[in-house]
Amino acid sequence: MSTVALASAVWAQPNYPVATPTPNLVAGEYFFVTDPGFGNANPISVTAGTEVAGLNTVVSLAGVPVGVRTMGLRFRNADGAWGLTLLATVFKFDLPLYGTAGASAADLTGAEYFLNTDPGFGNATPLTLPAQSNVTDLAAVLNVTSLPVGFHRVGIRTRNALGQWSQTSVQTLAKLDVTPYPGSNTAGNIVAAEYFIGTDPGLGNATALPIVPGTNIANANYVLTVPSAPAIYTLGIRTRDAAGNWSQTNLRVYDNLTAASYPTAPPAPTALQRLEYFIDDDPGFGNATPISFTSSANVVDLSVSIDLSAVAVGDHQLFIRSRNNPYSLTTVVPFAKGSALPVTWQYVRGEMRDDGANLWWGTANEANTKHFVVEHSTDGRQFEAIGTVAAAGNSSTARQYQFVHRQPAAGIHYYRIRQVDQDGRFSLSAVITLLQRQGMRQAIVAPNPVRSQLMLLLPAATTKAAEARVLNMRGQVLMRLPIAAGAWQLGANVSQLPAGTYRLQLLDAGAAPVVLPFVKE
């Protein structure tokens, strides 16, 4: 049947001037969905008056479809003027008729069920019911033979003696594919076992394990061949009995992220192919001033005469590097042209060993020297004292000194020697650069900030060719730098870049990109 909606409206006109009396409201009308125009809708009887308040009227929903509908309501005064149309939302329900008051509930005479798709009342699979008005704890066998394994919907409803159907109760059914138990209660021997890592190749297609047949093979130990690449793998193991039945597959997670093979010992260094130096501005690898030397894998205590005639008086930086495919790190030596030094330096050199950074320096002569202060930096700019060594005082012969910086952290380290006189004057040695690879877990860039020559240092030699890219903060690629297989480091001349913040992106096939920020001065 159709229900009846009661509508209530209040029509209020503003107060007009006293000289003009307000006309009475004499008529009203309503419509559903489509407005037929003023005077053409369904009429409403009203008591004439200047205000209609608390109006109760019965609105017919005959012919209005079931669902949510829009209803319009308005009123007309004695002058024939219509007011604004009030719009409201009406929800029409289709409800069954109520039974006769006092009548008892009719007996249930039928029931039916369906799987997944509802075929309509009376068209589903019937169920047998006892003749009574209420059925509780009904046990029924449903035919699910044709259903695939998985989750399904089951709908059940009943019908009474008046032919009225109940609401449909919908439940979720899970159909499982369970292997039947063998007919005998005696456990059969386990005669085979197999395992796989990663993707399951299917029963009988995995890697076989040698076993001794028996009803229980607990505490058996096996050596499994696992991938060497660091990653997290899925390990599956199962067994098969003499009747050909496979067990469930026992799955475990195998974490190989921390496993890493020992690096291959680097080949013995070959003879250096080139030495070169430049002052202040880097002209690029291979374009600096060459230095003559005797071919060797290591050059120490080399004396070089450098022409400073074209160098202005003041503070400068001397850069020296060697090439043995690729170029070495560039050693930086700050110096001041025209200033008198309290000591004549012969050399400053260092080497990373098991006990730390070993530093050696020598002087040709000393005048009024007090002590040497060993200074250390991790960025090549800010130095701090890490030790003091007593000086000779006055000497015209060569002197040698040594200092060990214990347990420096992984990465680049810069060292210099500050010679202090008795009167407080001092002079600085050359700055030497040492790389601590022990404990180094990721690539680093140095120096940072950088003026011209940027070095990329790798924790281990690359196993295949790779690439490094210099990007600005908008992600635009400014430079592409190939990295040869077997390389430990890479140099890049960034002197042409404007001052600012950049990122060096290291790309290596098979590994996630590494992004290293640096600042160009």
- The CA–CA distances, whole Å, from 75 to 39, 69, 87 equal 10, 21, 13
The string of DSSP codes covering 316-382 is: EEEEEEEESSSB-PPEEEEEEETPPPSEEEEEEEEEEETTEEEEEEEEEEESSEEEEEEEEESSSS-
Please give the structure tokens belonging to residue 184. Answer: 């005998």
Of 172, 140, 174, nearest in space to 153 by CA = 172
Measured CA distances, 216 to 192, 210, 220, 248, 350 (Å): 12, 14, 10, 15, 65
pTM to 2 decimal places: 0.36
Dihedral sign (CA 120, 121, 123, 127) = positive
Whose tokens are 């409803």? That residue is 157
| Dihedral of the alpha carbons of 60, 64, 68, 70, in degrees to the nearest 10 | -70
Query: What does the pLDDT read at residue 93?
Result: 57
Place of tokens 């001033």: 289
Based on the number of CB atoms within 10 Å of its own CB, is 454 exposed (0-12), middle (13-18) or buried (19 or more)? buried
The 10s digit of each residue's pLDDT in 343-396 is 788 889 999 888 899 999 988 888 888 999 999 998 888 899 999 999 988 888
Q: Which tokens is 330 given? A: 């560039």
Is the alpha carbon torsion for 120, 121, 122, 128 positive or negative?
positive
Per-residue pLDDT of the chain (521 residues; tens, 9 = 90+): 433 333 333 444 555 555 556 678 889 999 988 899 999 999 988 888 877 777 777 787 777 887 667 888 898 998 888 888 888 877 675 544 444 444 455 678 888 999 889 999 999 999 877 766 676 666 677 777 788 877 778 888 888 888 888 888 888 776 765 444 454 455 568 889 999 988 899 999 999 988 888 877 777 777 777 777 777 778 888 999 888 888 888 888 766 666 555 666 667 777 877 888 899 888 888 898 998 888 776 777 777 788 887 888 778 888 888 887 777 777 778 887 754 556 788 889 999 888 899 999 988 888 888 999 999 998 888 899 999 999 988 888 888 999 999 989 888 889 999 999 988 888 888 898 888 878 777 788 888 888 888 888 777 766 677 888 898 988 888 988 888 877 777 888 888 899 999 988 888 755 677 888 988 88
Give the pLDDT of residue 244. 87
Whose tokens are 């690359």? That residue is 462
Backbone angle region of 102, left / alpha / beta, with phi > 0 → left and psi within -120 to 50 → alpha: left
**Pair 7, 59: CB distance under 8 Å:** yes
The span from the CA of 452 to the CA of 464, in Å, is 28
Q: Across 224-313, where does the E strand assignment appear?
A: 232-241, 250-255, 274-279, 289-290
